[in-house]
Chains A and B, each alone.
Chain A
Amino acid sequence: MSFQYRSEFDFHGGIHPPQHKQISNRTPLQPLPLPPRVIINLGQHAGQLAEPVVQVGQTVQRGEVIASAQGHLSANIHASISGVVSAIATQPIAHASGMGKPCIVIESDGQDRAIQLPAISEPLQQDRQTLLNRVLAAGIIGMGGAGFPSHVKLMPEVHHLIINAAECEPYITCDDALMQHYATDIISALLVGQYLTQASQLTIGIEDNKPEAIAALEQALQQRFGERENCPIRICVVPTKYPSGGEKQLIELITGKQVPSRQLPLSLGIIVHNVATLLAIYRAITMGEPVTERLMTITGNRALQPGNYWTRIGTPIDWILSQHCREQDPNQAVIVGGPMMGFRLPNHAVGTEKSTNCLIFPDQQELAQPTQSLPCIRCGVCAEACPASLLPQQLYWFARSENFSQAQEYNLFDCIECGACAYVCPSEIPLVHYYRFAKSEIKHQDAEKARAAEARKRHEFRELRLAREKAERAERHRKAAEARKQAAQQQGVTDEKKATIADAVARAKARKREQESK
């Protein structure tokens, strides 16, 4: 047992919320039954919407591309079941606001006929670009939550590839389950990842509350490499402290370095991939599987059989609720994601997404009830808990008073919205909500400002152009008048009247010329 070591670094703040992981990590993995229909969001990744390539009424098979990536930052979308496309329209999506996005709805034919891409059996013998193309073709995006298209993230070469297996949110156990059941594949996947990124250092960051997963990875490494000396992979065991799985926090725990403010880990030569994403990449390459399903935790005190389920992308959450919830309560709360950063669904008739890692069906006592918050007493407990070393009490003050320039001065945009501050706040202020509000207002104002600046620039340019044209015209007239005067002098015309007439005729001619030239 020698492939692991304990992290020797720490990050500021952090909290220890109750884990609730045992609710869902005791049962074997199972597939969720085939849903009667899927609602697939075409904008579930960061970047541009995918463009539909099927028509309503068309029959599709599982694994078929139904919408293709557009532009540099986007991802392919595949049918996750076989059946008939019944709608291509804006539908409510799994989002805190209940907003809509273009979706493709497929009615299942119950056959689950599937097509796959050709398997690439020896990935390490292939051209790097071939593998990246496969990742793009398979529609892989970050499955830890951010939904960033993976082929873009894999393009630059780095020296350190970190696999995020911390899974620090309470309740969620799907990454834990993946590691316990697919440890060998994950190790192979990591070597493919190494080949793709050209990284010399490979680290799996995992919280110490997952001893079975750590043991499974250890065993897989042992089988594959035998000796520690031959193995390029290290397992860095980090303490169980939320949010150790935040990208920046995990980097600090593993390397002791901080990603410079408002920059990417790339600036340190580091790239972080979620363990589920890595496995999806591996399966897309070696088995030709596009992303049509993912392992998802269904948990909470009201979950009928809590556990981890292979769930087709786009499975309607109200359908899952009807099968997996103890009580058929129309007001049943559903949390998508973990209790710290997830959101409560305003509308259950939405599909799951590639980054939906957990559904929580809580009972009424289980989660915090919204309460009337008290004024901030500036106790500073939030600042103690903040993993970004911000001053949440000050940011709250600035956000509340809409003093956005001060909020930015206090590094509002370094807030990762982990919710540690709100978790500990004695006045129970929904702090994260204030920060989201301030951030969106600032972004909105900046966009407005940029638009205004653009308009002003256009206006100024127009003014400049008009002034220039006027000056040019005046110059032309002056020159013409001079020419006329000279001509008159040469002809010896001295009569005032004649001269005036000649002048007028010449002007009229000039005007006519001008009009003709236009």
Chain B
Amino acid sequence: MLISSPHTRNPQPVNFVMRQVVLATIPGALVLSYFFGIGIILNLLTCTLVAIVSESVILKLRQRDWRQGLQDYSAVVTAILLGLALPPLAPWWIATLGTLFAIVFAKQLYGGLGYNPFNPAMAGYVLLLISFPLSMTTWLPPQSLMQHPLPLSDAIYLFFTGLDSHGNGLNYYLSNVDGFAMATPLDELKTGLGMGYRLPEIVKAPIFNGLANVGWQWVNLAFLLGGIYLLVRRVIQWHIPVAMIASMTLVAAVLYGFDSDQNIPPVVHLLSGATMLGAFFIATDPVSAATTVKGRLIFGAGIGLIVVIIRNYGGYPDAVAFAVLLLNMTAPLIDHYTRPAVYGTGEQA
């Protein structure tokens, strides 16, 4: 074993960092489950199980110490971030396939922890979104808006078989009083604007009650809370989340000021979809993010910009996954051009 100075160390070990991330997702996961039911938990459990099994198998195939490989908790973090992003009661194989892709292809085939150029959870998510758009955009309405109550046993039936105990499919639970399928607020906006409605008309729908919307605002606030915990514990640094939120706010405000009939207001941007989960938990994945201070500000701001543009003008209701992957690609370039002035080379020299 190599003995090299320093002979004293005081790190926050990798597995401590990863466990803190898992811990910080708990408020968000609980609020999600409160609004959307047991499906969230089923996704999280499935993803975690698949991640652990696939990580160990592939480590074994790569002739690495699989026990030690699991001890860093990075596979669990990937599984949880993906699980939190999946629609509740999407069939079980969605979670399984996404996690397999994330762990095996996006992470291990690039060399495992520390070597993946893309955020594995988001790579898995985008694979699913592009391959199975219907399943991936079928979100249950918040339980307070549901027309037909969904008992626990039926939820489990739906998850594993696609049908509840009475033979009803998921669509049965999606429909509102008028028999139309309900969706997430961002879906609603995208569909409404696509059909030629003006924004003030769309937001009259019951899902937009409250500050921004029903359910999702609390989910985002809960992830914000977890994110603040990570900042306080110095597990993540402020640059990426602050830059991302600031750029989203700024860009959304300018666009909204320009045309308030067509553009989503900033507060709806911030408190809908995966905004806070993305800002504090996904974009901050250090392996695939930019690593210099200035670079992280650019990285975060870039994600915020792309999220707003795709949500306002693109074909998809939400865009955190796309934005993160796009910026992952640019991270080496950003790092290259944002090197800090080394001691003795800057203005003070």
Contacts and interface: CB of A to CB of B under 8 A. Distances in A.
A379 B237 CA distance: 9
A258 B286 CA distance: 30
Nearest to A267: B349
A415 to B, nearest CB: 9
B17 A379 contact: yes
B131 interface: no
Nearest to A375: B114
A343 B2 CA distance: 12
A275 B344 CA distance: 25
A259 interface: yes
B349 A259 contact: yes
Interface in A257-286: 257-263
Contacts of A11: 343
A448 B10 CA distance: 39
Given A258-B349, A339-B6, A380-B286, A414 B344 contact: yes
Given A256-B348, A374-B113, A339 B287 contact: no
Contacts of B68: 372
A377 B286 contact: yes
A48 interface: no
B3 A370 contact: yes
DSSP majority for the B interface?
loop
Given A258-B348, A260-B344, A262-B344, A377 B114 contact: yes
Contacts of B293: 380, 383
Nearest to B286: A379
Interface in A6-27: 11-12, 15, 17-18
Interface stretch (B27-35, B162-170, B225-233, B333-341): B333-341
A378 B343 contact: no
A502 B293 CA distance: 90
A398 interface: no
Contacts of A15: 10
Nearest to A387: B343
A265 B291 CA distance: 31
Contacts of B191: none
A248 B342 CA distance: 12
A316 interface: no
Contacts of B286: 377-380
B72 interface: yes
Nearest to B239: A380
Interface of B: 1-14, 16-17, 68, 72, 74, 111-115, 237, 286-287, 289, 291-293, 296, 335, 339-346, 348-349
Given A260-B344, A377-B114, A378-B287, 7 more contacts: A17-B10, A375-B111, A375-B113, A380-B296, A381-B12, A391-B339, A428-B11
Interface of A: 11-12, 15, 17-18, 170, 248, 252, 256-263, 335, 339-344, 362, 367-368, 370, 372, 374-381, 383-384, 387-391, 393-394, 410-411, 414, 417, 419, 422-428, 430, 432-433, 436
8 contacts: A259-B344, A390-B342, A390-B343, A414-B342, A423-B6, A426-B13, A428-B11, A436-B4
9 closest A-B pairs by CB: A375-B114, A419-B6, A261-B344, A433-B4, A370-B1, A388-B343, A258-B348, A368-B9, A379-B286
